A and B are shown apart, each in its own frame.
Chain A
């Protein structure tokens, strides 16, 4: 091979750039993505965006209607500006939605890949233990765990992570077992590579994709569950603004200011449906391979 600059090698776009291109062509997914982006920005820059102090209460100005003086979206049962609380609430709500899924993704994938690749007794032990947790309906498990551990953000995060590890681990194990049986993994073993190298080079690249897509579909569920926990009084504690908690405290207001009471839930809904549509779009973009 000469050292003189040869014409560049033909290369084709990698897997993820193809996925991205296909995703960008899907209008619904793009719209959902924009909403998600806005929500994330709202979460990050929350404190700077609030027009009023989200914690300042006023007994005189309780449950003001939408459009009242100084309260563009009304005020809650303690007289706090609802708009500000909704904006700041994005932080906690999104955090509680994404973090458990993130942790569960890391831990669940690790367990699933280990079980799927090792096979035999290791697989049986891990998967049967996971099956026991999988035998509980997720809402029940989340509430039982939260109820047992006590209210609070940390406990809620812990219980939600535990709830999401089994389904993610199952998907990871299933895909890993499939990949392990493929010829190219056998060829890699035939080259004398050790298990870690094979997993790193050959298995992970083919497993992370599908598991990631599955995990993204769990984000909305996690958000709804986390808010649900707060709604029951098991998650975030007052006076922190979190949409589920706000739904709880505003419940009694449905007779006097119904639409105020419904607002926090609307935020959860918008967030959830955007994440779901984005996840759907991602799945379609990844599926149409060959």
Chain B
């Protein structure tokens, strides 16, 4: 890794982002004041760590809480419980006020058109962020034009255009430039390439890889496209129904997944390999409702290896392990038939 960026505080060994016990519930509207209120448990206790300079992929079905987690990371929504630590400093605390945090973490959204104010020119959109943080207008515009060039859009052709005149891929490049304008260290990409045509997607992904090198960035890459995640990520986080299911190095996770859900996800990846035909769906049933999640391990209702103990006990996840998983089968002493006793140690890659 090249020299650390100027705002680095804790050195290369310190994780860039540590998330502990992140929780966020959304109450639903009720018709009459005496009816009990239903609650969507969107993010229900999430822990993970993002290392400096890595790309962490985040995968899961719709409704698993990926996007809510992204917004919680950015503090666009306030968490109901839990803590986010950025480079050793608690976000929102005295060491790291929100405004400063917001300069160091940025996000690129899925909908490239909705992410840009239709009334502002491209360069004004990009220059907004730096100006908020004190840069003078002219300097901000200069930086905006420079970034446009770096994302592959010629400033002369694009700087004074409006978003509706650009194609989807071009707009997403603008969004990336906008995110980079405040010189962040962490970039959260929430399905950033999902809405693009495949060929354009490839170009934008390559751009992202280049920029990561150039600017010394760390990425959190949220996607439902497992192929892309495999290509881009160093480690992968699998989420299910508001909780972390598995977290490990990409290749290890893809070749030997520990959590049955991960296994099912990978098995459902479409492939052109004629030897790997999918004749039946790897997972039965619909994803349960985040309003009323199953007790115990949330996946047990669809898990082919579930046993009665899975409905009674919530699996714990050990983040210190290089390949962490929240499943009773891998928890020694959990009374699942496949788990060892607490004295045995599992060998992991």
Evaluate contact between B111 and A183: CB separation under 8 angstroms: yes
Task: Give Cα A121 to B263, complex, Å.
Answer: 47
Known A-B contacts A1-B145, A183-B114, A192-B132; the reply to A206 vs B119 at CB < 8 A is: yes
Known A-B contacts A184-B116, A202-B117, A205-B119; the reply to A12 vs B161 at CB < 8 A is: yes
Task: Give Cα A186 to B162, complex, Å.
Answer: 19
Chain B CB within 10 Å, residue with most, of A1, A183, A202, A205: A183
User: Which residue in B71, B102, B114 is a CB contact (below 8 Å) of A182?
Assistant: B114
Encoded as 1 (CB less than 8 Å from any A CB) or 0, chain B from 132 to 154 comes to 11000000001001000000000
A-B contact count (CB 8 A): 83
Task: Give Cα A205 to B155, complex, Å.
Answer: 24
Q: Is B178 an interface residue (CB 8 A)?
A: yes
Evaluate contact between A10 and B132: CB separation under 8 angstroms: no
Evaluate contact between B102 and A206: CB separation under 8 angstroms: no
Evaluate contact between A188 and B128: CB separation under 8 angstroms: yes
Q: Is A25 an interface residue (CB 8 A)?
A: no
Task: Give Cα A27 to B162, complex, Å.
Answer: 28
For A11, give the chain B residue with the smallest CB separation.
Answer: B160
Interface residues of B in 172-192 (CB under 8 A from A): 175, 178, 182
Min CB distance A286 to B, Å, is 13
Question: B111 — which chain A residues lie within 8 A by C-beta?
Answer: 183
Evaluate contact between B157 and A10: CB separation under 8 angstroms: yes
Task: Give Cα A206 to B163, complex, Å.
Answer: 14
Question: B129 — which chain A residues lie within 8 A by C-beta?
Answer: 191-193
Evaluate contact between A192 and B117: CB separation under 8 angstroms: no
Q: Is B115 an interface residue (CB 8 A)?
A: yes
Task: Give Cα A186 to B125, complex, Å.
Answer: 13
Evaluate contact between B102 and A6: CB separation under 8 angstroms: no
Q: Is B321 an interface residue (CB 8 A)?
A: no
Q: Is A197 an interface residue (CB 8 A)?
A: yes
Encoded as 1 (CB less than 8 Å from any B CB) or 0, chain A from 180 to 222 comes to 0011101111111100010001100110000000000000000
Evaluate contact between A189 and B76: CB separation under 8 angstroms: yes
For A185, give the chain B residue with the smallest CB separation.
Answer: B117
Question: A7 — which chain B residues lie within 8 A by C-beta?
Answer: 156
Interface residues of A in 13-34 (CB under 8 A from B): 15
Question: A48 — which chain B residues lie within 8 A by C-beta?
Answer: none
Task: Give Cα A190 to B186, complex, Å.
Answer: 13
Evaluate contact between B145 and A290: CB separation under 8 angstroms: no
Q: Is A255 an interface residue (CB 8 A)?
A: no
Evaluate contact between B156 and A191: CB separation under 8 angstroms: no
Evaluate contact between A192 and B102: CB separation under 8 angstroms: yes
Task: Give Cα A213 to B182, complex, Å.
Answer: 36
Question: A10 — which chain B residues lie within 8 A by C-beta?
Answer: 156-158, 160-161
Known A-B contacts A9-B155, A9-B156; the reply to A187 vs B132 at CB < 8 A is: no
**How many chain-B residues does the 8 Å CB contact rule pick out?**
41
Evaluate contact between A186 and B76: CB separation under 8 angstroms: yes
Question: A205 — which chain B residues lie within 8 A by C-beta?
Answer: 117, 119-120
Evaluate contact between B107 and A187: CB separation under 8 angstroms: yes
Evaluate contact between A1 and B142: CB separation under 8 angstroms: yes
Task: Give Cα A126 to B93, complex, Å.
Answer: 33
Q: Is B118 an interface residue (CB 8 A)?
A: yes
Q: Is B165 an interface residue (CB 8 A)?
A: yes
User: Which residue in A1, A190, A201 is a CB contact (below 8 Å) of B76?
Assistant: A190
Q: Is B227 an interface residue (CB 8 A)?
A: no
Q: Is B98 an interface residue (CB 8 A)?
A: yes
Q: Is B223 an interface residue (CB 8 A)?
A: no
Evaluate contact between A184 and B102: CB separation under 8 angstroms: no
Question: B155 — which chain A residues lie within 8 A by C-beta?
Answer: 9
Known A-B contacts A184-B116, A184-B117, A206-B117; the reply to A6 vs B156 at CB < 8 A is: yes
Evaluate contact between A186 and B128: CB separation under 8 angstroms: no
Evaluate contact between A190 and B74: CB separation under 8 angstroms: yes
Q: Is B164 an interface residue (CB 8 A)?
A: yes
Known A-B contacts A190-B74, A202-B117, A206-B119; the reply to A183 vs B109 at CB < 8 A is: yes
Question: B115 — which chain A residues lie within 8 A by C-beta?
Answer: 183-184, 187
Chain A CB within 10 Å, residue with most, of B116, B119, B142, B182: B119
User: Which residue in A9, A12, A192 is a CB contact (below 8 Å) of B99?
Assistant: A192
For B163, give the chain A residue with the smallest CB separation.
Answer: A184
Question: B157 — which chain A residues lie within 8 A by C-beta?
Answer: 10
Task: Give Cα A205 to B175, complex, Å.
Answer: 20
Min CB distance B289 to A, Å, is 24
Q: Is B218 an interface residue (CB 8 A)?
A: no
User: Which residue in A9, A189, A192, A202 is a CB contact (below 8 Å) of B103?
Assistant: A192
User: Which residue in A12, A191, A206 is a CB contact (below 8 Å) of B128?
Assistant: A191
Evaluate contact between A191 and B117: CB separation under 8 angstroms: no
Q: Is B334 an interface residue (CB 8 A)?
A: no
Q: Is B106 an interface residue (CB 8 A)?
A: yes
Task: Give Cα A1 to B142, complex, Å.
Answer: 9
Other A-B pairs, 13, CB within 8 Å; known A184-B117, A188-B117, A192-B102 = A1-B145, A6-B156, A10-B157, A15-B119, A183-B111, A183-B115, A190-B102, A191-B182, A192-B98, A193-B128, A193-B132, A202-B120, A206-B118
Can you list 15 pairs linking A and B with CB atoms under 8 Å apart? A9-B155, A9-B160, A10-B157, A11-B121, A183-B111, A184-B117, A187-B178, A188-B117, A190-B74, A190-B105, A191-B128, A191-B133, A192-B98, A205-B119, A289-B164
Which 3 interchain pairs have the tightest Cβ spacing? A192-B102, A11-B160, A191-B129
On B, residues with C-beta under 8 Å from A are 71, 74, 76, 98-100, 102-103, 105-107, 109, 111, 114-121, 125, 128-129, 132-133, 142, 145, 155-162, 164-165, 175, 178, 182
On A, residues with C-beta under 8 Å from B are 1, 6-7, 9-12, 15, 182-184, 186-193, 197, 201-202, 205-206, 289-290
